[in-house]
Amino acid sequence: MKHKIFTLLLAIVASAGTMFAESVRIGNLYYLLNAENLNAEVCSSAGEKYSGDIVIPENVEYGGQRYRVSSISERTFQNCNNLNHVEIPNSVESIGDFAFGGCSNLYSIVIGNNVTNIGIYAFKDCINLTSIELPNSVISLGMAAFSGCEGLTSATLSKHLKEIDVSTFQNCKNLSGILIPQSVTNIKESAFSGCSNLYEIVVPDAVTNIGNNAFYGCSAITSCVIGKGVTSIGACAFAWCTNLGSMVLPKGLTKIGESAFNNCSNLTSITIPSTVSSIDRDAFAYCVRLSSITNNAEVPQEISNNVFTDVDKSVCILYVPKNSVELYQTAEVWREFEYIQYHYKASGTCGANGDNLTWVLDYDVFWTFAEQEKWQLGKVFILYHGTIIASQ
């Protein structure tokens, strides 16, 4: 039995030896050559750092054989601080883990149109990289692939990317805008945390989950649209987004995580859909300018008393469904809001001889702590063929 195992091991080692020999230098690069499928993998060189501008060829010749350059091995260019520019050919299909990590003077890279996979930390801390364009062939972008790329101002993502992985763009402090493709279904933990110049974000409808800390500390964001497919917003997902002004959460959302909007100090209004069943502690804590909350749940959610820490409940108006006012009046925490209100809108027609005049009455009904019903008249509009011609 031992003899058979030993023989098997020898066969495996021999097979591996025929596939990948020791690295060989061809031109200004080192390669691992696969004698079986005639593929070549760009690899690092022992004790030598790549520098300057590098153009990787599609094919190389060695020992009378022609090899196709199909991949870049892990850590190939890691910490090559004098590397400036790289062009990756269309023959390359994968970029390994840490492949360009720490290349502090890499300012530009061209990625070929057949790369499908980019490994974890592939471009981490490339602090002088200013832009990146991923071809539509990319379907997998590894964890923290561009984290710490402080000089990155723009990024174009593949239309076939499946998810934004953990910390993919974390601390890309100069990234100002990014279009998340419709193909993305998951935005993972800390994906964009610390992107302090990101000013606008649109989460596509295919996304179902926004992970913990996904946009934590994105202090420049003023506008965020969350797609209708999102069912869960993780802990601290939008915490410290200090310029975020308003949020309408999508129908279908079921969970708002702990501290999800903590310290969003310029948030003035929030709309919570009826599907939300769970609002965790500190979800809206220290949202000190919050003046309007619309909660469409017929039955108030059970929440802890720190969900709205430092929200002025004597000023912030709580809008609820018309038939649920009394339930909110008696529910823990919710009853602390001084104004629990529902919105009413009515319309009709007026005028004779086919004048097509329409009136619209728009007003609010709210309750005070004294349980006294009050009517707050808003506007009466008169419209002609859909155009406002008078208001009061």
Could you read off the pLDDT of 139-178 as tens digits, one per residue?
A: 999 999 999 999 999 999 999 999 999 999 999 999 998 9
Task: Indicate if the pLDDT at residue 390 is higher than 70.
Answer: no
Task: Answer yes or no: do 171 and 255 share one domain.
Answer: no
Q: Is residue 8 in a domain?
A: yes
Residues 319 and 361 in one domain: no
Asked, for residue 385, whether it belongs to a domain, the answer is yes
Look at residue 190 and tell me if it is in a domain. no
Does residue 105 belong to any structural domain of this protein? yes
Domain boundary among 157, 184, 211: 184
Q: In terms of Cα–Cα distance, which of 272, 258, 317 is closest to 290?
A: 317
For the chain, the average pLDDT equals 87
Q: Verify that 30 and 161 share a domain, yes or no.
A: yes
The pLDDT of residue 48: 85
Around 152, how many Cα atoms within 13 Å sit in the side-chain half-sphere?
33
Question: Would residue 333 count as lying in a domain?
Answer: yes
3-state secondary structure of 71: strand
Distance between CA atoms of residues 348 and 77, nearest Å: 71
Do residues 276 and 380 both lie within one domain? no
Same domain, 46 and 122: yes
Residue 233's pLDDT is what? 98
* Number of structural domains in the chain: 3
Task: Read off the pLDDT of residues 3-39 as tens digits, 9 standing for 90 and up.
Answer: 444 444 444 434 444 445 578 999 999 999 999 999 9
Please compute the mean of the pLDDT values over residues 254-282 and round it to a whole number. 97
| 100-110 per-position pLDDT tens digit | 999 999 999 99
Q: Which two tokens stand for residue 283?
A: 């979800």
Residue 270 belongs to domain spanning? 199-337
356 & 323 share domain? no
User: C-alpha angle with apex 293: 199 to 359, nearest 5 degrees?
Assistant: 100
Residue 140 is inside which H or E element, if any?
A: strand 140-141
> Among 190, 225, 232, which Cα is nearest to 208's?
232
Same structural domain for residues 102 and 29? yes
If asked whether residues 321 and 218 sit together in one domain, one would say yes
On whether both 19 and 143 belong to a single domain, the answer is yes
Domain membership of residue 1 (yes or no) is yes
Q: What is the pLDDT of residue 301?
A: 96
Alpha-carbon distance of 31 to 48, in angstroms, equals 14
The band of 46, judged by pLDDT with boundaries at 50, 70 and 90, is confident
Domain end: 337, 361, 376, which one? 337
pTM: 0.84
Question: Is there a contact between 97 and 72 (Cβ–Cβ < 8 Å)?
Answer: no
> Per-residue DSSP letters for 2-48?
HHHHHHHHHHHHHHHHHHB-S-EEETTEEEEEETTTTEEEEE-BTTB
Please count the helices (runs of H) and the strands (runs of E) in the chain.
2, 30
Same domain for 12 and 115: yes
The arithmetic mean of pLDDT across residues 183-208, rounded, is: 97
Tell whether 87 and 156 lie within a shared domain: yes
